[in-house]
Amino acid sequence: MNGCGGDFNAKKHEKFKSLCESRVNIITKNFRLLSNLSNKKNYAYTDGDIDKVFKHLHDELKKCKENFSDKNEKNKFSLD
């Protein structure tokens, strides 16, 4: 069973890389589309609107990153 483990993990890693690259490229494209909304000749927005957008994006990115952390570390209690 050890002989298959490395090959199996290599396949899982290749699948991860493929999906990850695709999804990150989609997110990057969508960030660029979001940036297009910064054109004040075409759109009106307040500083509050922008703060809400970027707080939401920051919070979602933080949650996403936490999902990649060690599950045991994520649920540990600390007073720090």
Report yes or no on 79 lying in a domain: no
Report yes or no on 50 lying in a domain: yes
Report yes or no on 35 lying in a domain: yes
Report yes or no on 80 lying in a domain: no
**41 secondary structure, DSSP code:** T
pTM for this prediction: 0.75
Instruction: Supply the pLDDT for residue 72.
Output: 62
Report yes or no on 6 lying in a domain: yes
Q: Tell me the two tokens of residue 33.
A: 């589309």
């999804």: which residue's tokens?
Answer: 23
Report yes or no on 65 lying in a domain: yes
Number of compact structural domains in the chain: 1
Q: What is the pLDDT of residues 18-69, one digit of tens each?
A: 999 999 999 999 999 999 999 999 999 999 999 999 999 999 999 999 999 8
Report yes or no on 13 lying in a domain: yes
The boundaries of the domain holding residue 39 are 2-74
CA-based nearest residue to 57, from 65, 69, 45: 65
Report yes or no on 48 lying in a domain: yes
